[in-house]
Structure formats: C-alpha cells, structure tokens
A and B are shown apart, each in its own frame.
Chain A
Amino acid sequence: MTIETDPSPEFAGYAHPERLVSTEWLAAHLGEPGLAVVESDEDVLLYDTGHIPGSVKIDWHTDLNDPVVRDYVSPERFAELLGSKGIARDTTVVIYGDKNNWWAAYALWVFTLFGHEDVRLLDGGRDKWIAEGRELTREVPQPAPVEYPVVERDDTVVRAFKEDVLAHLGNPLIDVRSPEEYSGERTEIPGYPTEGALRAGHIPSAKSVPWAKAAAPDATFKRRAELEEVYLDGAGLKPGDDVIAYCRIGERSSHTWFVLTHLLGFENVKNYDGSWTEWGSAVRVPIVTGSEPGEVPSR
C-alpha cells in the first residue's frame, strides 16, 4: 500500500526524488491510511510544544540510542518502538524535524539500518512548515499499536565503524563539522561543549564540507546543480566514489549521507556515527590539524 510519491518538479533532478516530500504534498496527504508522520528534533520537548497534526515523536536520544551501550537500539526494541507508534513494516514514513532536518535525517538513517523501505524527509522540515503558517497542534495522537517485525539491523551497508574508516583511508572522506572543529581550533561544535573529544583536528585526507552547504536558506535542500557544485566541483567527489561522512556524533553527517545517497545518487556512502567523539579520543589513530586535508600516513 505504498503511497504515491511527490511529483513536484523541483525534486525531479535528484537521483531519488521519491525520498522527499514538500510541505504542500504532506498537507494534502495528512491522515491517509498507510502514511505515518514522525517528528525528530534535537530538543526532546519541541514536539510537545506543537507539531504537525497526527504526527508522532521519535527522539534520537531516548528512543533510537541504546541507553547503556553506545549503539542503536536492538531489533526487538526498534520493533516495539515502531509498533507502538502505529508504524508497520510497509508504512510510508515521512520524517521532519528542527535545524534543517539534522535529527530527522539521523532518524531516517537509523530506519535505513533496519531496512525500513519507504522512509522520506519533509523538505524544509519543521521550520518551513511553520514559516508557511501551517497548522500545529499539541494534541498527541494515540495510534492503535501494530505488529512490526523484529528485523536484524544491517550495519554493513550505510554505517562505518572506526576500523572501516582506517581501512578506507585513501578514499574520499567528508568532514561535515564547522571549519573550527576541522582545523582543530576547537573539539566541539560552537555552543555544544558537552560532547568534546580529547584531541582536535580531522581524519587525514578528509575534505571539509560543512553540512549547511547542502541547505538553502528556507531549510530545504539545495537543488541538484548547486549540490554538484559543492560536492563534485568543490570537494572533488567523482560519480562511483565510495564515501564516508562523519561529524561529531553522526547526526550532521546523516544529513550529508542523505544528500550524497538520495539526492546525488552515490551508491556506496557510509555514515561514521562514532565520528569525532570517538576518533578524537581513540589511541594512536592518525589526526591532521589545520585547514588542509593532509596526507594519509603510510602504514
């Protein structure tokens, strides 16, 4: 019971336009059977202050991360979570959120780890919906629980671990953090000093492409030609490249992973969710400081 995709011409240039919906499309499809709308924000309470009617909340921290081990939730827990939100395996899921969809993209990436097939982002996210004066509500829906199967997470296709990054050195890496974090002037994102690392800098040879270069001022994604300027002309990626993106904990790089995979059509892009909070504290991994990518050390 797949729901029709958004035929908006502005998405037509993307490699996988079916991964995006516009605010107009969502407003017209709200309440349709087989469609679930999920809000995922940085702030755990933002949904509760007002959300798109009928949408449910999934929090990146309390819902998607394991509370003990630094990892994502188990297949059992994920099945329980989605089932409790009224999401079945064949439900079309549209995710939206604050901050240009950082956390929405992160949630979409976690859904991808579990192989949920039809999961899309609302282009422009929460900000655009509000800017257009569309309806918000504080009414929390109580969806009837459904059965979601227990599906093994596949960590081999879109997820990279530290060892994978070490083996990948010499191939394209994209560092999506701020220029100050990249150069090593600071270990944390401006305003987020609680998630630092012991050392500062970047992974050798990584190109600096801050995530926001993919975003337009209205929080939508830039269109394909502009994205190609940034990632192909600017960062030197070539079609067919294997790419790993990283940031600090993997949320901003989920945004870039989405852009490279679904908008530009790269087929082998991984998100390194350990990111700088792991690499910058790991023993004896190579690090480069300064604004140049630097050389891959000989092994």
Chain B
Amino acid sequence: MTELTGTLAEIRDDFQALEQNDRLQLLLEFSDELPELPERYRDHPDLLERVEECQAPVFIFVEVDEAGIVHLYATAPQEAPTTRGFASILVQGLAGLTADEVLAVPDDFPQTLGLAQAVSPLRLRGMSALLGRAKRQVREKLAAA
C-alpha cells in the first residue's frame, strides 16, 4: 500500500488533531456537507447501489470520466448523519483522484481517522464497506471500458 496523500490525508490529519468530542463535530460538518445527488440520479434510485453493511440505507454510484477521473455520488437519509458523514468524507476525499489512485487508497483508511472511540468500531465498519463498494465499482467500470 502506498502512503496516503492529498485530501484524504488532510482529512485524516484534521480528525487526528482534534479531541474526541470535536471529532464528532467534524463528522457532523461532513454530514451536513454531503452534496445532493446530481439530477440524473435523483429520479433514478435504481442506478444507485445499496451498501448493505451500513446500518442506515446508503446508496452510492461511481463514474469514471474520459480523463480517468473518478466521481463518487452518495445519498443517505437525514436520520442517518453518521453514515452521511462517512459518505461525505469519501466523496470529498476521492474527488479528483484517478481510478488507480482510488484503488490504491488503503482499505484501513476509516480506522486511521481516530473515530473508533467516539463512534464505536462497529459503526466504523459501515465506512469500510462504503470504501470497498466504491473501489469495486471502479474496478467494474475499468473492466467495462
């Protein structure tokens, strides 16, 4: 695995610089920032893949554009802010990365945020599942290209 760089590394450092309680507040900020789905997906929930490992219903969809850049879209209900926060971290952290760079993101990235105590390890598994699903979709898009 390569050294984590770019936005994901910054996000990790931001979390680790905070006290436990403030880490939750930062996660809440991410949750609030989860962008709305683009219009082409808003009316087509069938295009989105449900991540079963998360406690709350969360749907993700990955695009790889002509330049090989990955775009991750995600939606989760307002009643599931932790899941929204996880999704938002990945949406922001993976933005602008190439498919190869996304595939090189360490699978244990969620465990490096220092959230296990504030959120519980069980809940963090949902974020690992999100990352795993996103990577799998990237691989499928590459194979289909």
- B-contacting residues of A (Cβ < 8 Å)? 42-46, 48-49, 61-62, 67, 98, 191-195
A43 CA / B32 CA spacing, docked (Å): 15
A193 CA / B52 CA spacing, docked (Å): 7
Which of A44, A45, A194 has the most chain B CB within a 10 Å cutoff? A45
The answer on a CB contact under 8 Å between B55 and A45 is no
Within B109-145, the residues touching A (CB, 8 Å) are: 117-120, 122-123, 125-126
**B16 near A: Cβ within 8 Å?**
no
Residue of B nearest to A62 (CB): B120
Within B31-86, the residues touching A (CB, 8 Å) are: 31-32, 52-53, 55-57, 78-83, 85
With A61-B122, A62-B118 known as contacts, the answer to whether A44 contacts B24 (CB < 8 A) is yes
CB distance from A226 to the nearest CB of B (A): 26
The answer on a CB contact under 8 Å between B79 and A48 is no
CB distance from B77 to the nearest CB of A (A): 10
Number of B positions contacting A (CB below 8 A): 26
Chain A contacts for B83, CB-based, 8 A: 43
3 closest cross-chain pairs (CB), A and B: A45-B81, A61-B120, A45-B82
A234 CA / B83 CA spacing, docked (Å): 37
CB distance from A213 to the nearest CB of B (A): 22
A44 CA / B20 CA spacing, docked (Å): 13
Chain B contacts for A42, CB-based, 8 A: 55
CB distance from B118 to the nearest CB of A (A): 7
A288 CA / B36 CA spacing, docked (Å): 46
A195 CA / B53 CA spacing, docked (Å): 10
The answer on a CB contact under 8 Å between A195 and B122 is yes
**B28 near A: Cβ within 8 Å?**
yes
The answer on a CB contact under 8 Å between A191 and B55 is yes
**B27 near A: Cβ within 8 Å?**
yes
CB distance from B18 to the nearest CB of A (A): 14
The answer on a CB contact under 8 Å between B28 and A48 is yes
